[in-house]
Amino acid sequence: MEGILACVLILLISVVSCIIKIRMKKKLDKGIELPPGSMGWPYIGETLQLYSQDPNVFFASKQKRYGEIFKTHVLGCPCIMLSSPEAARFVLVTQAHLFKPTYPKSKEHLIGPSALFFHQGDYHIRLRKLVQGSLSLDSIRNLVADISSTAASTLDSWDGGHVLNTFQEMKKFSFEVGILAIFGNLEDQYREELKRNYRIVDKGYNSFPTSLPGTPYRKAVLARKRLSKILGDIICERKEKRLLEKDLFGCLLNSENEKGELLTDDQIADNIIGVFFAAQDTTASAMTWIAKYLHDNQKALEAVKAEQNAIRKLNDESNQPLSWSQTRNMPFTHKVVLESLRMASIISFTFREAVADVEYKGYLIPKGWKVIPLFRNIHHNPEYFIDPQNFDPTRFEVWITIHLFNSHQPELHGSFWVCGQGNFCFFKSSSFIGAGGTETQYIYAVWQWTPCLSRK
């Protein structure tokens, strides 16, 4: 019996492979070629090579050999890799309608299928506008005082001379800022329940997806169900009080489409969780890398401290808290943030899928293939950045004004990709750079950072 099943499976795989090859041959006969590259072993592709070395080295070696566009086969999917600013803009901005976001089903299940970045079309546009409007700089400017207070409380909790895990502490801080931006004032009971269950979901997000009891993924699935229940309770409470808050939660709760239809509770919950995922880890990673780069570059650190101490001195003399206008007037600090984002390239690449056959620079991108813009390759390409491995915030002085947040869409500034995850990047960037001037004010002007060896 097992032998028969194995033969049937092999036959099915062979038939599917033949169909794919025949369809591809017909497309190639039309005169459009696939990009250069290697597809590796049958079915396995080049996944083993990808995981047996630093992924950045893998992609960089491919780019050096084949150029800015090449094909490969990784993670069970045929892929087209793109490593130029023009190609990234083509896929993510100018021709974005030809490429849909794609995520593993296990991750979609944890975030929620109604989250805006799993969709295209009218629903996506509607949600995108809601998120963009409620988390714009004009909205976030009203949170500066609250974020300042949160930053001070966070730093107070670090007293005592004990060793801290910088990334984990930054994640805690980012979560609190996310609560403020999404809900405004939230009862402590709800805040703690959200925090506890979100941490479980976060821990299981990148784990092996299995339903076996006791596994991180199974725990994450159960915690996600509890999050839906908690958010459902908050929704009911807000509806009963008929509150018309202008925070993200309020905007989602009260939004009507052209037919007068409100979002369902599940749609609201999925998009709230989606914003949490978009805002927390990447923002925390950015702040952690900034701390690291400033520690390693004393000249830049002294310049940031001088800029921040001047603001603190002015505020101390007038007994005033940090103001919104001050967060927008930290020129060198903002250059440090930009250079840290470039150097770290926290999101090295992103996945899209071609929804139709697409021609780009004479090459075919077949329908159904994954398309992967390689942001790190762009950020570390000497054609776009002189001496790219050197941390140099002054390289951004050539831009008199850089508008990072004037659109929900990903943007390329010169050759600098400021957003790797498209539709939700403005929130994490705003909370870090815009309102995040607060944490810069405290963290780098007050604290010294010393690297510690990991303990086995």
CATH 3.30.43.20 residue ranges in the chain? 30-105+346-379
Under the phi-then-psi rule, with left for phi > 0, alpha for psi from -120 to 50, and beta for the rest, what region is 455?
A: beta
Determine the pLDDT at residue 30. 55
Residue found by looking up tokens 């609201």 in the block: 268
Instruction: Select from 414, 418, 393 the least CA-distant residue to 406.
Output: 418
Residue found by looking up tokens 């023009």 in the block: 86
Kindly list the averaged pLDDT for each block of 10 residues, start to end, along the chain of length 456.
Answer: 49 47 49 87 81 81 90 87 90 88 83 86 85 77 80 81 85 87 88 94 85 92 96 90 77 85 92 86 86 91 89 83 81 88 85 92 93 88 88 78 32 42 33 40 49 46
Determine the pLDDT at residue 275. 87
CATH 1.10.630.10 residue ranges in the chain? 113-184+245-345+386-456
- Show Cβ contacts of residue 82 under 8 Å, excluding neighbours closer than 6 positions: 68, 69, 88, 90, 91, 371, 372, 373, 374
CATH class label, 113-184+245-345+386-456: mainly alpha
Determine the pLDDT at residue 329. 85
Determine the pLDDT at residue 190. 93
pTM: predicted TM-score of the whole model, two decimal places: 0.77
CATH of domain 30-105+346-379: 3.30.43.20
Taking the alpha carbons at both ends of the chain, their separation in whole angstroms is 49
Determine the pLDDT at residue 454. 44
User: What is the secondary structure of 166-208 as a DSSP string?
Assistant: HHHHHHHHHHHHHHHHHHSS--HHHHHHHHHHHHHHHHHHTS-
Instruction: Select from 204, 197, 226 the least CA-distant residue to 107.
Output: 204
